[in-house]
Amino acid sequence: MNYFPTLISMTAAVAIIQPQIVAALPFSEINQIAQEITVQIETSGRIGSGVIINQDENTYSVLTTQSVVQEIKPDQPAYITTSDGEVHTLEFRTLQKLPQVDLAVVQFTSDRTYKLAAIGDSDRITQGSVVYVGGWSQPGGAISQSIFEITDGKISSRLPEPLDNGYALIYTNLTRTSMTGSPLLNEKGRLVGIHGRVESDSQEEPSATKPGFNLGIPLKTFLDLAPSINLSLNLPPLLTDDPPLVSQTTSTNYTTLRDLLADQQWQQADDLTFDVMLAVAGMKVTNLGRDSQLDIEQVPCEDLKIIDALWLKYSNGQFGFSVQKNIWESLESHDPPTWTTYDRFGDQVGWRSNGSWLKTNQFVTFDLSAPPGHLPAAITEMQGQFLSQYHFSQGCEGGVLCGIGEVVKHGKGLLFSHAAACNLE
């Protein structure tokens, strides 16, 4: 842990912080995000696309257009193919259509972990904004199989009043007709809309390639209408403004943590996260590791919110305490927590494998390919008292996190209850 002394020196005075503008992601990263969150939907021999927006245990929810799923019938099979090539059954009973707009939600079940779309602010998409459309194309011509394609373009116009079925975004991306239902992403890889129709000067059937201006539905339209049909969605937080960098409660300056996260230095940021939480809770690092009496409830809510907001922002909603809390609550909401609940949590965030809790050097993946909620991970050291008992009794050789499964079982609930008390969403 190399950042704790730096942190202490920063808490003595509050500097004037210049806000940092988050740079647009390179095309390669946008492409990776798009491929991971986009699914292929096949109904009656037709192909469309959709985007994974929610997970509740083993059930994933996919947002698409009604036109993609209009051919689904109770007695006819339909399928969803995820980024790993797995084919899942799309059951008719899961289909939910939103009123007055060309949007629908379908579901599939899987014990595998898939990435969810990070929610962006579609109200900030204006004329000239860069957007990306990534989806699956129908075979045809020289292309004999369905392939994933992604193109960039710009918002050419935003209609003050939506057209029929909710379409309000017009953009210049080159797309194919079978890419209907694809996610519309901003330059930070966040979901801001759903791609749908093509604007054409003629009334003829559109060609396989959409050469002109495409039409999309702003994501806010979906967010506003979802409650009207009782959609229970545990959506990731909306990622918008930079969080504050100085805590008014403790005068702690979080610029270093912000910079590490912005540079995607996940391991260093993970280490610093634990050190800063020790500091604001009034604890210290000892030669034997973390102080065994740390009380998570001594971490001020303001500091917890700043740390969480920074992780959320720079991971595109992939990492953060609130992500972990929401996953925990989705498991806990069905039954009172048991040891099995903790194990299922570990499975979902990638801290367990093949039925066993992993050592730190085995389970931590310090990049965005990790499952949602995988980081911060060093925070699991916060129940030091039990961990030190486990450490000395088991002869742990991989560092103080070797007993991570036991720590989660005995202490993670305290963090989640504190996060809930601090209104982390």
Closest by alpha carbon to 79, among 105, 41, 48, 49? 41
Listed ranges 9-23, 62-76, 219-233, 397-411; the one with the highest mean pLDDT: 62-76
Q: Which two tokens stand for residue 230?
A: 């009782």
245-249, 266-270, 271-275, range with the lowest pLDDT: 271-275
Neighbours of 12 (CB within 10 A): 8
Question: Distance from CA of residue 304 to its chain's centroid?
Answer: 19
Tell me, what's the pLDDT at 195? 96
**Which pLDDT band holds residue 243 (cuts at 50, 70, 90)?**
confident
Residue type, 56: D
pLDDT in tens, 87-119: 999 988 999 999 999 999 999 999 998 988 988
Amino acid at 200: S
CB half-sphere exposure, 116, CA atoms < 13 A: 26
Q: Is the peptide bond before 376 cis (omega within 30 degrees of 0)?
A: yes
297: three-class secondary structure by DSSP: helix
* Residue 275: pLDDT over 70: yes
Contact 158, 169 (CB under 8 A): yes
Q: Which of 40-54, 93-107, 354-368 has the lowest mean pLDDT?
A: 354-368
Give the pLDDT band of residue 389 (cuts 50, 70, 90): very low
pLDDT band at 200 (very low <50, low <70, confident <90, very high): low
Q: For 212-237, how does the pLDDT look when each residue is reduced to its tens digit (9 = 90+)?
A: 579 999 999 999 898 887 776 666 55
For the segment 10-26, the average pLDDT, to the nearest whole number, is 42
pTM score above 0.85: no
Using CA of residue 125, residue 118, residue 219, residue 199, what is the dihedral sign?
Answer: positive
Task: Express each pLDDT in 158-186 by its tens digit.
Answer: 998 898 899 999 999 988 877 899 999 99
User: Band of the pLDDT at 242, cuts 50, 70, 90?
Assistant: low
Handedness of CA 412, 413, 418, 424 (dihedral sign): positive
Q: Are 170 and 131 in contact (CB under 8 A)?
A: no
Most confident of 43-47, 140-144, 187-191, 212-216: 187-191
- DSSP-based three-state secondary structure for 206: coil
Q: Which residues pair with 104 in a beta bridge?
A: 64, 97
